[in-house]
Amino acid sequence: MKLNPQLEHLPVYHGGRPLEEVARELGLPAAELIKLASNENPLGPSAKAITAMREAAARVNLYPDGNAFYLRKGVAEKLGVTPANLIFGNGSNEIIEFVSRALLGPNTNIVVSQYCFAIYPIAAHLAGADCISVPAKDFGHDLAAMAEAITTETRIVFVANPNNPTGTRASNEAVMDLVNGIPDDVLLVMDEAYFEFIDDAPDLLPLISEKQNLILMRTFSKIHGLAGLRVGYGIGHPDFIAALEKIRQPFNLNAIAQAAALAALEDDEHVRATRENNTEGLKFFENAFAEMNIETVPSYANFILAKVGDGKAMFEKLQQRGIITRAMGGYGLADWIRISIGTPLENGRCLAALADLR
């Protein structure tokens, strides 16, 4: 067979290790392990979403609504946009694929920041495009330098704000400068997977109807606690959304996911509790690491980077004790691990193990 030549050098994305897999290896019940590796919601899914899933489960003999009518309507109303401004993906990762397929090919490039979300370069390389990586400033995106790095071949600029894996955010002023300054023929993807964890995120929704070349990405995986269902969405100009809809497979969003996401959207109390738990957990780790003289990067998301020396070794030792974190060598941060904020109990166990293992 003649495989797509891009596949030969394409790295495989390694996510956080699944609980069940580590449990099998250690010979322990999964319930005894703690997963702080994938920025999931430690409070679980909303109870309302669970009820909605049960009801939807009884009808899975039927194909899902390919247009996600009710979820689309619900999100549109919540955000004050029109249904035509929205496209749903099997996780917002699928939106990254849609925009890549719509815009990238050989002799094109994307612009990203050093320490960017790993999926952007993978999607670009698969499409045969190059990736221009702009050096980070204090671990965060240097948006002005990214704007300057744009070439005539650039088709997409990807910005996660707050960013994963660093937890950094750009100032609202820098974001607005980039949004207003980006050339009309370059798409700006603002990945807002963690925007619910900050209070004063830049409000880009009003610009969606004016700018064809701006798309916002959001997800139900983080604040809403539905990572296992895979629901994300893009918010953009109706003309651009219509182009992306041609790429989307008709039943990409399953029926249980649609029902759960709609219910989660209405559960403001669960979102509030999640934010509160996160704020407390971040403070706990920041204070504790400061006392232990462990360097951290100030985080605006639901995880924290900690400089522990040999990150891979610490990841493995913690895992031996049933605590799954993430080593950061793949991001060029070999001395660091990323810890997702858990419940107070999980955070305490993680910190105690780390203190013991240093």
Ligand X SMILES: *Cc1c(COP(=O)(O)O)cnc(C)c1O
Using CB under 6 A, list all residues that contact ligand X.
39, 91-93, 117, 160, 164, 191, 193, 219, 221-222, 227, 232
Q: Are 216 and 208 in contact (CB under 8 A)?
A: yes
Of 330 and 348, nearer to ligand X (C-beta) is 330
For the bound state, the minimum distance from the C-beta of residue 152 to ligand X, rounded and expressed in Å, comes to 27
Length of the chain counted residue by residue: 358
Q: Are 217 and 190 in contact (CB under 8 A)?
A: yes
Of 215 and 288, nearer to ligand X (C-beta) is 215
Checking DSSP bridges between strand 323-324 and strand 34-35, what pairing results, if any?
parallel
Of 91 and 236, nearer to ligand X (C-beta) is 91
CA-to-CA dists, residue 109 to 114, 118, 212, 213, 253, angstroms: 15, 16, 19, 16, 29
CA pair distance 64, 248, nearest whole angstrom: 14
For the bound state, the minimum distance from the C-beta of residue 53 to ligand X, rounded and expressed in Å, comes to 17
Of 143 and 288, nearer to ligand X (C-beta) is 143
For the bound state, the minimum distance from the C-beta of residue 317 to ligand X, rounded and expressed in Å, comes to 25
Q: Which residue is nearest to ligand X (CB)?
A: 91
CA-nearest of 23, 156, 51, 170 to 98 is: 156
For the bound state, the minimum distance from the C-beta of residue 58 to ligand X, rounded and expressed in Å, comes to 26
Of 46 and 164, nearer to ligand X (C-beta) is 164
Of 64 and 234, nearer to ligand X (C-beta) is 234
For the bound state, the minimum distance from the C-beta of residue 1 to ligand X, rounded and expressed in Å, comes to 29
Using a 10 angstrom Cβ sphere, with 0-12 exposed, 13-18 middle and 19 or more buried, the burial of residue 24 is exposed
For the bound state, the minimum distance from the C-beta of residue 109 to ligand X, rounded and expressed in Å, comes to 20
> SS3 helix, strand, coil % of the chain, rounded to 5?
45, 15, 40
CA-nearest of 37, 34, 39, 35 to 311 is: 37
